[in-house]
Amino acid sequence: MYKIVSIPGDGIGPEVVAGAVAVLRQLSAKHGFEIVIEEHPFGGASYDLHGEMLTTATLEACRKCDAVLLGAVGGPKWESLPHEHKPEAALLKIRKELGLFANLRPAKVYDALLDASSLKPDVVQGTDFLVFRELTGGIYFGQPRGFDENKGWNTMVYERHEVERIARLAFEAARKRKGEVISIDKANVLEVSQFWRNVVHTVHADYPDVKLSDMYVDNAAMQIVRNPKQFDVIVTGNLFGDILSDIAGMITGSLGMLPSASIGTKHALYEPIHGSAPDIAGQNKANPIATIASAAMMFEHSFKKPEIASEIYRAIEAALAAGLRTADIAAPGDPVVSTTEMTDAIVRHLGA
Ligand code: NAD
Ligand code: IPM
Ligand code: MN
């Protein structure tokens, strides 16, 4: 039995999570394993119900389950709240409380979508890299932070153990891939980045079979767009990983395609990398694939069932190969399907 807590959140969150839940239910029926899905409010949706972005009940449920499935949070309705009360702060809190220090963001191009990328097909074809984004440290969490009328400030700090544990995960992952890690930093300017680089190299001593190189983040942003195939495993800090993974999203055609797994030693949470997309929320237009693929990552990382994950990826591929396109991945003139039509097609391709 798998106990999953779903926290759909705001904007398109509920629409895309419904897609992943439909896939989970189909797999449960097909294979005869039991999946219990308990839904809890989170973000703006929770604030509107309970006056809190993250209630103790939701957090406790997340602690007790086998895996969490998250949609997205945030939106114009809650944007003017004080910083510490914004939905985004609740997302950081849940990541910190659950100890989810590693965010895995795989950028893989589906052949059927080569024309959906804003880059040339021969540039993106065959792209397959995995970003390890540090998720519970760096400038997102550093103290002091704040602003007054005349200045604003944040602090970027990394402690040795924080860099060591994410570096280890990246090296381990590289061993199962092409064996190449690129660590991305800004060591030419930032002391914290020089420290990051030093620690990554120290950890590398335990992985002599893996090739390690360093890249400055500005160059990396350019290289991802110039030649994304050069990357195998990327390891980087919280803020750089946030930005670089959105860039990676456009290689695959859309932010709506990129899943992620947020992993710690005790808990795991699965979330698309995109946000709540207020511009298309409630219109049945959102691409559910990033969230459905996040459910696939759940089978890989939490349930140790890579064969079920592959089934999900194959069903996504089949729906794309059959020509189904939500608006974000449609070429001009392509017929466009809705969130629920894309979901239904993927569920159908999973088979009974
Ligand atoms: P966004 O990712 O929500 O949207 C950026 C653009 O991509 C929009 O045009 C949107 O329509 C499109 N898009 C995103 N996901 C899509 C999908 N599945 N299908 C089709 N199109 C999709 O980023 P934003 O507009 O900068 O942020 C909106 C809100 O979401 C903000 O409040 C932000 O803080 C929040 N946010 C939350 C998360 C999260 O919960 N993990 C992540 C990013 C942003
Ligand atoms: C993401 C988002 C979040 C982040 C925000 C909403 C806090 O952009 O998951 O990528 O920056 O981590
Ligand atoms: Mn982001």
Comparing CA positions, the residue from 39, 6, 45, 18 lying closest to residue 269 is 6
- The ligand whose atoms approach the alpha carbon of 276 most closely is 1
Specify the pairing of strand 233-236 against strand 180-185: parallel
Choice from 53, 276, 284, 342 to test ligand 1 binding pocket (greatest atom count within 8 A of CB): 276
What confidence tens digit (pLDDT) does each residue in 35-50 have?
A: 999 999 999 999 999 9
Stretch 189-212: mean pLDDT, rounded?
98
Consecutive H or E run containing 261: strand 261-263
Residues within 5 A (CB) of ion ligand 3 = 242
Domain boundaries, the chain: 1-99+266-352, 107-254
- Contact criterion met (CB below 8 Å) for 135 and 262: yes
Q: 1-99+266-352 architecture in CATH?
A: 3-Layer(aba) Sandwich (3.40)
Q: What does the mean pLDDT of the chain come to?
A: 97
**Nearest atom (ligand 2) to Cα of 92:** 7
Take residue 60 and report the two structure tokens written for it: 């406790």
pLDDT at residue 116 in the model:
87
Stretch 258-272: mean pLDDT, rounded?
98
Ligand 1 neighbourhood includes 124 CB (under 6 angstroms) = no
Choice from 73, 101, 242 to test ligand 2 binding pocket (greatest atom count within 8 A of CB): 242
- The ligand whose atoms approach the alpha carbon of 93 most closely is 2
- Contact criterion met (CB below 8 Å) for 224 and 230: no
Question: Which whole-number Å values give the CA distances from 140 to 92, 103, 123, 179, 286, in the listed order?
Answer: 8, 14, 33, 30, 28
Ligand 1 neighbourhood includes 286 CB (under 6 angstroms) = yes
Q: At 151, is the pLDDT very low, low, confident or very high (cuts 50, 70, 90)?
A: very high
In this prediction the pTM is 0.97
Instruction: For the chain, give the percent of residues with pLDDT over 70.
Output: 100
Q: At 333, is the pLDDT very low, low, confident or very high (cuts 50, 70, 90)?
A: confident
- Contact criterion met (CB below 8 Å) for 17 and 8: yes
| Total number of residues shown for the chain | 352
pLDDT of 326 above 90 = yes
pLDDT at residue 255 in the model:
95
What confidence tens digit (pLDDT) does each residue in 101-117 have?
A: 999 999 999 999 998 88
214 an active-site residue?
A: no
In a 3-state reduction of DSSP, which class is residue 9?
strand
Stretch 172-184: mean pLDDT, rounded?
98
What confidence tens digit (pLDDT) does each residue in 306-319 have?
A: 999 999 999 999 99
Q: Estimate the crossing angle of helix 339-350 against helix 13-31, to 10 degrees.
A: 10
pLDDT at residue 16 in the model:
98
Compute the distance from residue 13 Cα to the ligand 1 centre, in Å: 10
pLDDT at residue 244 in the model:
97
pLDDT at residue 352 in the model:
85
Take residue 119 and report the two structure tokens written for it: 């880059």
Q: Estimate the crossing angle of helix 306-321 against helix 13-31, to 10 degrees.
A: 120
Compute the distance from residue 199 Cα to the ligand 3 centre, in Å: 25
In a 3-state reduction of DSSP, which class is residue 288?
coil
122 an active-site residue?
A: no
pLDDT at residue 295 in the model:
98
Ligand 2 neighbourhood includes 273 CB (under 6 angstroms) = yes
Catalytic residue among 10, 47, 86, 186: 186
Burial of residue 1 (number of CB atoms within 10 Å: 0-12, 13-18, 19+): exposed
Domains 1-99+266-352 and 107-254 in one fold: yes
Compute the distance from residue 204 Cα to the ligand 3 centre, in Å: 28
CATH number of 107-254: 3.40.630.40, 3.20.20.370, 3.40.718.10, 1.10.10.10?
Answer: 3.40.718.10
Instruction: For the chain, give the percent of residues with pLDDT over 90.
Output: 97
Take residue 261 and report the two structure tokens written for it: 């797994």
pLDDT of 332 above 90 = no
